[in-house]
Amino acid sequence: MKSNKNKEDNEKLKVFIKKYISPEKNKLVFLVLMIFGGTFIKNINPYLYGKMLDSISSSNMEYLIKLIVIYFVVTIFTTLLGIYEDYLGQTLSFKVSKSVQKNMFDKIIRLKTKVYDKYDTGEFMYRLNGDSDEIVSFCINVITSFLHIGVNIAISLYFVFKISTQLTSVAVFYIPASFAVTFLSRKYFKELAKRRKEYNDKYYSFQNEIFSNNTGIKSYMLEDSMNEKFKNFISRDFKILKRSIFLNNTVDILNNLITVISSLYVIYLSAILIRSNLLTIGTMVSFNTYINNLFSSISEVLKLNISKQNVIICLNRVNEIMSKSSEKRETPGNNFSLKNINFEGNEIYFRYSEKDKPVLNNFSFEISSFGFYGFVGKNGCGKSTIAKLLVKLYDVEYGELKLNGESYKDIPKEKLRRNITYVQKEDFFFDDTVLNNIKFGNPVARDEEVIEMCKKVDLDEYINTLPQKYETVIGEGASILSSGQKQKLSIARALLRNTKIYIFDEVTANLDGKSEKLIISVLKELSKNSVVIFISHKVSSIIESDEIFLIDEGIVAERGSHNYLIQNSKLYCELFKNIDLNIREKVT
């Protein structure tokens, strides 16, 4: 069973190497050849050093000077070669690592929303940055070390056998003992690596939560509570660290004990051979250097095997992401007919996961002309879910959605999203200028068009008070803007897209009465030549709707104008009364 698992792990590594490292094979081969040459030349030094000691013993100064010059030249050459090897190795690792990260990043941002929701931000961050780097570093290290270690072992074995076959018998003890220690410890290293990765995922997710919600933490005075949680993370980290230290130290102690026993054996046996005139001091020093090189090379092989346990965990985590279903890149095709828009939903059934109860159950609706359409209902009734289905962030489980008679299943996402503008309550903003944040809606729009849209939503005057006006950087999450200004900016960006279908989800929630009235009038004007779907809890926002869909328990319970529903729907009246009694009194 374990053998099959090892074969499977090795196959995964081979696939990874073939996909990401093989494209750089020319540079890799050159690097390996350099390492081979450097290692081969460097291994001459112990032999030269031994000869220098023997020259000193025999007082052969002329030969000693020649050896010193050769030793100096070889050392300088291998040092310079090592510097270049290091440069080449690091640049190669960087390129391969960024290639992996680029593919992973593309995969993550294209994951189906249903899959994306299952992961914490910290999991994505650590897998993208930490795991990918560790895999690449290990693979390149294995490839480059393979020849380097092989040459070291071959040369060391050649010289130790040449110097003394009797002393070489130490390897009979050292090699099996070292392999036994590694074999017995590797499963513990693998378990520890898994615990470390799981901890890092949660740790980075916690950090992201804290730094993204700093204002809320301050307002609820949660600093002490968050500090306690952070201390708990540190405590867990320390426990993992202690286990890691204990495991590493145990393995190191055992390996050092094996090395010490082997070295003492060499010294004892060397003394006997020197006493019998079968060995000189110089050759003993050379042998000791080569046997230590042999031990060191074997130790590197064993360390790579231990590192592999961690890398396999990393590789499984990366492959888990890369194997998930993502949104397919489809050909957008022709645009929809712009003369009219017809939305149709027939008996839609949807839930976010198999464990959840359905959010929409037998949900049906129809929008057959341009206009301003309000979707209203209690919290959790499915309003925002409808919006996400309409822009195909999720697929319906049962039932059917149609647009202009065409089934959603047959409409490419790119084609759909090119024609639908979806604005959420908490929209996205980048750490960029005001101008660029609005131009994301339409990158080819002229600056004058941007200004015009900002004037429509009453944002232009404020922007002109900023230090660099439209070129002012708004900070991460638009930190320099108020919540209301953020919503205005989102609406301006949406208007700039100039599509025929708009979906606004709670976009006036943070606006004052005057601003809300202005935005509604802008959207009403927009709805003369487009479909505007407006989702809101605020009745003041949906009173002007041409038609209101009242949603309750996953279905359209009632539909009609505000006046019709207020007179004919008890459910709407109750909802209306609870939301805004003052407006109800004015209307009635």
Task: Give the model confidence (pLDDT) of 158-216 as tens digits.
Answer: 877 887 777 777 767 777 888 888 788 878 888 888 888 888 888 888 887 777 666 56
Bigger pLDDT: 325 vs 393? 393
Alpha-carbon distance of 412 to 402, in angstroms, equals 13
The distance of Cα 183 from the centroid of its chain, to the nearest Å, equals 32
Q: Is the pLDDT of residue 219 over 60?
A: no
Domain count, the chain: 2
393 in the same domain as 296? no
304 in the same domain as 351? no
Asked if the structure places residue 328 within a domain, the reply is no
What whole-number percentage of the chain has pLDDT above 70? 93
Asked if the structure places residue 28 within a domain, the reply is yes
Q: Is the pLDDT of residue 218 over 70?
A: no
* CATH number of the domain to which 226 belongs: 1.20.1560.10
pTM value is: 0.72
Tokens of 406: 């065409």
Asked if the structure places residue 512 within a domain, the reply is yes
Which pLDDT value is given to residue 581?
A: 45
pLDDT digits (tens, 9 = 90+) for 33-55: 787 777 777 777 777 777 777 77
Closest C-alpha to 457, from 525, 373, 388, 375: 525
310 in the same domain as 244? yes
Which pLDDT value is given to residue 165?
A: 76
231 in the same domain as 169? yes
364 in the same domain as 228? no
381 in the same domain as 294? no
354 DSSP 8-state letter: T
Averaged pLDDT, 119-141: 83
pLDDT digits (tens, 9 = 90+) for 237-261: 888 888 888 888 888 888 888 888 8
306 in the same domain as 355? no
The CA-CA-CA angle for residues 17, 187, 314, to 5°, reads 35
Tokens of 342: 């017809």
* CATH number of the domain to which 381 belongs: 3.40.50.300
186 in the same domain as 51? yes
Name beta bridge partners: 32: none
Which pLDDT value is given to residue 381?
A: 80
Alpha-carbon distance of 246 to 250, in angstroms, equals 6
Which pLDDT value is given to residue 395?
A: 87
The neighbour count for residue 29, using CB atoms within 10 Å, is 11
Examine the fold and report which residue of 253, 288, 322 is the final residue of a domain before the chain moves on: 322
Asked if the structure places residue 329 within a domain, the reply is no
pLDDT digits (tens, 9 = 90+) for 360-406: 888 888 888 889 999 988 877 888 888 888 888 888 888 888 888 88
297 in the same domain as 352? no
> Angle 281-322/61-110 helices, nearest 10 degrees?
10
Burial tier of 347 (Cβ tally within 10 Å: 0-12, 13-18, 19+)? middle
Asked if the structure places residue 10 within a domain, the reply is no
The distance of Cα 390 from the centroid of its chain, to the nearest Å, equals 28
371 in the same domain as 224? no
Alpha-carbon distance of 457 to 542, in angstroms, equals 18
* Core vs surface per residue 115-124: b (16+ CB within 10 A) or e: eeeebeebbb
Bigger pLDDT: 274 vs 421? 421
Q: Is the pLDDT of residue 588 over 50?
A: no
102 in the same domain as 196? yes
Residue 5's pLDDT band, with cuts at 50, 70 and 90, is low
432 in the same domain as 529? yes
Examine the fold and report which residue of 262, 292, 322 is the final residue of a domain before the chain moves on: 322
Which pLDDT value is given to residue 578?
A: 54
Alpha-carbon distance of 264 to 276, in angstroms, equals 19
Which pLDDT value is given to residue 278?
A: 76
Range of the domain at 410: 343-587
Mean pLDDT of the chain: 81
Asked if the structure places residue 7 within a domain, the reply is no
Which pLDDT value is given to residue 502?
A: 92
